[in-house]
Chain A
Amino acid sequence: MKLSFELNGIEHYLDVEPGEPLLSLLRRLGMKSVKEGCGTGDCGACTVLLDGRAVRSCLMVAPQVQGKRVMTLDGLGTVNDPHPLQEAFLECGAVQCGFCTPGMILVAYELLTRTSDPTPDDVRNAIAGNLCRCTGYVKIVDAVLRAAEWKREGRWR
């Protein structure tokens, strides 16, 4: 079937199998930041933003994004021009292996588009569906709070 949707700001129009998982479609389109950790919606590594809301791409099929906007981590910033939220993850040491990082950053991004002044508990709640086995979450929470601080200081673009 034909599918049209916006991926990181670019219109896509392509043929898909109706049952193709969104995760598989996105990776097929080169969005390797979308990770598969479980395939059952439990770990959050495949998180993407669908019209600005965090969803698990392993639990969705491609046709569900018809006419919608999908954002993956690739759409946030680049190696040479990272988004302040990505900077904050680096500066706070929130990245160990980096496999959960794309999903973590996207759920944090969703939180910080809703509020610029989250409490530590708000952050913990926002990332609760994204599992990390490396960090104990300590520095991830620090990073999101720092990014929020930067946002309040007007450092977000």
Chain B
Amino acid sequence: MAVETQQGGAVGQSVRKVDGPSLVAGKPLFTLDLDIPGSLVGAILPSPHAHARIVSVDTSAAEQVPGVRAILHHGNVPRVPYTTAGQGWPEPSPYDTVLFDTKVRFVGDRVAAVAAETEDAAAEALARIRVEYELLPPILSPEEALAPGAPIIHDEPDAEGIYDASHNIAAAVDIPIGDAAAALAAAPVTAEATCEIPYSQHATIEPHCVIAYFDDAGRLVVRTSTQVPFHVRRIVARVVGLDPARIRVVKPRIGGGFGSKQEVLLEPVAALLALRTGRPVRMAYTRQEVFVASRTRHPMKVTVRLGATKDGALHALEMDVLSNTGAYGAHALTVLSNVGSKTLPLYNKAPHVHFHGRAVYTNLPVAGAYRGYGATQGYFALEVAMDKLAEKLGLDPVELRRRNYIRVGETSPIFEKIGEGREGTAQIVRSCALEECLRIGAERIGWREKRGQRREEGPWVHGLGMACAMQGSGITGVDMAAATLVMQDDGSFRLLVGATDLGTGSDTILAQIAAQELGVPVDRVLVYSSDTDFTPFDTGAYASSTTYVSGNAVLRAASDVRAQILDVAAAALGERASALELAAGVVRSRKSGKSLTLSEIGHRATYVTDQRQIAATASFACPESPPPFAAFFCEVAVDRETGVVRVERFVVAADCGVAIHPQAAEGQLEGAVLQGIGHALCEEMLFSPRGRCLNAGFFDYKIPSSLDAPAIEAILVPSEEPTGPWGAKSISEVGINGPLPAISNAIYDAVGARMVRAPFTPERVRFALGVIP
């Protein structure tokens, strides 16, 4: 690697997480760990019906409950259409939500909220709110939503940005390049796959929670478990009608996000309850509410059609998407766009590409951002179709990928055609180590020796499968991050970033990026992040953006501060700055050998001569979004009698450029892969015929435990991204895109059944095997 790691704690070293010592000591770092005297408890009345008009809300009995301080409902809260999706500006999701509506659109939709002195009083008050509903027929599938004459879920006149409300279509895309239909019809070899992903949940272990209180100046402080503090501030201000300058949003440590906290859910309710009562208000979703009333992955049905020459060169790709956005259109358009934009460029050689899809409303829970953000759904279908194509061609699936994946110096028209709800940005790929990922992954799993062998052990049959994926690093033309770096009088540094560490380790990684430039160990850089009063702007932690976008901002600030340090040293030493070098905490002259320590320089600038604050603020707007790449290989065992699928081993080899913190990068891959295995084997929200979620809890909705986790081997394959900070690209999402298709393909290798409906439960496998007719 070109990166110098002369410093302990600089780039490429798995240094101790800056927040690690306090996390392992159990310090009160999370949102609800702060006790604010006099706090009220906020709680929400959920709709028991999937689709109904609210005829009346009677709060008179609830108001009589001792300790009740405020009750909010549509009758006493101004109607402001907004979107809960925490995205940049202009917001690409439709304004189809109001805090309290006269209509409910899913079981769990918000009807009213109370603030009370105790949890018991709040619960009692909720129980005494009398709501009269006029029931409407519920729509429980995208197909029903699109049927002629279907009830209209968003018939309110003040919604904005819905693609076609009268047909329940929240968003639609249609991107033709060349003539895919004709090319498919004429292709010598074709393959097709339709794959379905159900409702699934992020299941962060910390539920969504918030405290809204007033500081000593009477300003509203929103302390919240969020991925997007700056969007929270903007959206809360608009929805509750408060000057944004009167709002401070603080993100403390947060207990996982994965996209579910890129949503502004509890914050405006807590803020409004605090404003109405003049008291601090704490709110937290119960686990059941997290499942039903936070956000989910968009359930989708994706069809991929591939046309290729006889030697396996892809000539045409078509992808059709039917996405279920649930009751509201949070991220409906952008997730839909990403199904194509993050998948189709991987196989960039085909001149004919057609990407089209619709995101439709149903009376089910609201989908939103979830790690992978549509790419996960797209890769399931794309990579199963590639496996089918390889079989038809008689080619090794690895070889088929090799003949088609995008290389350094190449582009794809998709980059330019599809962006985040609008046109994208043309870009070329400047780094790609997928070849090496494929080689290492195949070798590690034993691809050549074990694939197609159908090794048997009693009822168990073993098989191997693989898949490839890419993602992006931030959103071009949308994401912007800023960083402020200040040198202290003792020569140590303070780094202020709007970036939001969700547990990914970004505070540490950003400190490393600065430390590398400043030639100091990481512990000389104190990081303070995600506070809208004290840190500069950052769009937030989503779209795999923090290392690349926020990291580039930090590097720019550090490089500016470094230049200022050299200037001060040059004056002190009576030399030109160009003759000086900064390393190991010392500025030294190459000419004279004279030197000054950073603490001497900090002291001089602060107190002695030509006094000034050595500091810089820099920002970085994302001009391109370099994709990380990954190759996934797994071995499964399938019990032919019971249909049980066991993942024996899972190997992921990924190119994230230069891994700033290799251990954290591996951790992202391992965690993403296990979430993907959960999607593949066990995770699915189930609903009653009236739209009520039947398994809204960890007892019935299974997420993998340590006993369900196979041996996961995460391998980092280095490349160097020239536009990235110290050569880095992203890593947080790409790992979730592979498990669904790799496991499906492995099941096919083992028993010849194509699993195209996730999760691959024993029952579905037995159906596919014909054990259940």
Contacts and interface: CB of A to CB of B under 8 A. Distances in A.
Nearest to B701: A42
Given A43-B205, A96-B503, A102-B26, A131 B703 contact: yes
A32 B23 CA distance: 11
Contacts of B75: none
Interface stretch (B76-84, B379-387, B450-458, B704-712): B704-712
Given A35-B30, A79-B27, A93 B256 contact: no
Given A38-B287, A137-B706, A141-B706, A96 B667 contact: yes
Given A96-B503, A128-B705, A131-B698, A72 B667 contact: no
Contact of B256 (A73, A97, A125): A97
A127 B706 contact: yes
A146 interface: no
A91 B254 CA distance: 21
B24 A89 contact: yes
Contacts of B29: 98
Contacts of B203: 131, 133
A136 B671 contact: yes
B16 interface: yes
Contacts of B286: 39
B709 A125 contact: no
Contact of A33 (B26, B675, B707): B26
Grouping DSSP codes into helix (H, G, I), strand (E, B) and loop, the B interface class, with mixed when no group exceeds half, is loop
Contacts of B207: 36-37
Interface string B468-504: 0000000000000000000000000000000000111
Nearest to B676: A136
| Residue of B21, B287, B671, B706 with highest tally of chain A CB at under 10 A | B706
A100 B26 contact: no
B666 interface: yes
B21 A136 contact: no
B20 interface: yes
A136 B205 contact: no
Nearest to B29: A98
A6 interface: no
B336 to A, nearest CB: 25
B96 interface: no
B28 interface: yes
Interface in A99-157: 99-102, 105, 123-125, 127-141
B33 interface: yes
Interface string B693-722: 000011100010111010010100000000
B21, B505, B697, B712, most chain A CB atoms within 10 A:
B21
Contacts of A137: 674, 706, 709
A93 B671 CA distance: 12
Contact of B667 (A32, A105, A135): A135
A67 interface: no
A80 B207 CA distance: 29
Given A37-B205, A79-B21, A132-B205, A97 B705 contact: no
Given A133-B671, A136-B712, A139-B667, A78 B206 contact: no
Interface of B: 14, 16-17, 19-30, 33, 202-207, 253-256, 258, 284, 286-287, 502-505, 663-664, 666-667, 670-675, 697-699, 703, 705-707, 709, 712, 714
Given A93-B17, A97-B256, A133-B258, 7 more contacts: A42-B699, A99-B204, A129-B705, A132-B205, A134-B503, A139-B667, A140-B706
